[in-house]
Amino acid sequence: MKAVVLISGRGSNMESLLKAGLPVEFACVISNRPDAKGLEIAAGLCVPTAVVDHKRYHGREAFDAALAAEIDRHAPDLVILAGFMRVLTEGFVRRYEGRLINIHPALLPAFPGLHTHARALAAGVRVHGCTVHFVTPEVDVGPIIVQAAVPVLPDDDEASLSARVLEQEHRIFPMAVAWFAEGRLRVRADATVLVDGASGAMAALISPPPDEA
């Protein structure tokens, strides 16, 4: 399976994918920012890179058309948003529907959009986390593939909570991409995702634990 990864910054999730030993050919890493550090990381891992600088285009439609042209040069089976900080047009999303996935640093549908960790702390939630989902035209509401939860600790600030969530992002993103590559994901009529062969057994995360409540 061929995949293209889109980034805007440091690319830590991209790096976790490239180093995960997945059954995937990473055809290109594309950034909308020429100074994105992730481009250096990808090149160091012998993955081709490209830049489609959004500042060179007038309007979202023109940028998305140029981005799609670069993506299509590589004929990917999957397009991965790994910290790609651009809101995509409906036309772009429809072009790659069913093969466009994103990772979001919150337990969707809670805290869509930006500043998720600060908002989680302000809301006083006990549990926070991350979500890998299929992308749909409406931001951060697509069918959920996998989530991971972490406790919110009493002394957490935005940085400490972000670091704890990022660790889980690096676990579940490669998992989701592997499931896609293996043909194990099915989106049902109710827009929920079934993972063929996945175990239903899991341990509950209770925060704070019952013996500390």
**pLDDT tens over the chain, length 213 residues:** 999 999 999 999 999 999 999 999 999 999 999 999 999 999 999 999 999 999 999 999 999 999 999 999 999 999 999 999 999 999 999 999 999 999 999 999 999 999 999 999 999 999 999 999 999 999 999 999 999 999 999 999 999 999 999 999 999 999 999 999 999 999 999 999 999 987 766 566 777 777 654
Where are the strands (E) in 32-99, listed by range?
Answer: 49-51, 78-81
Domain boundaries, the chain: 1-96, 103-213
Return the SS3 of 154.
coil
Query: Helix (H, G, I), strand (E, B), or coil: what is residue 199?
Result: coil
Give the pTM.
0.94
CA 155 to chain centre: 27
Which residue from 25, 26, 68, 69 is spatially nearest to 49, judged by alpha carbons? 26
Side by side, the strands of the sheet bearing 49-51 are 49-51, 25-31, 2-7, 78-81, 100-104, 127-134, 144-151
Residue 140 to residue 134: CA distance in whole angstroms:
9
Catalytic-role residue among 54, 58, 74, 104: 104
Instruction: Give me the pLDDT at residue 206, please.
Output: 72
Cα–Cα distance between 16 and 11 in angstroms, integer?
9
User: What is the pLDDT at residue 207?
Assistant: 72
Rounded to 5 degrees, what are φ and ψ at 184? Answer: -100, -5
Does residue 54 have an active-site annotation? no
Which superfamily is assigned to 1-96 in CATH? Formyl transferase, N-terminal domain (3.40.50.170)
Query: Could you tell me the CATH superfamily of domain 103-213?
Result: Formyl transferase, N-terminal domain (3.40.50.170)
φ, ψ at 132 (rounded to 5°): -105, 130
CA 208 to chain centre: 28
Integer-rounded Cα radius of gyration of the chain: 17
Structure token digits, residue 13: 């999730």
pLDDT at 85: 96
Residues 6+ apart with CB under 8 A from 187: 98, 134, 143, 193, 194
Q: What is the DSSP letter of 145?
A: E
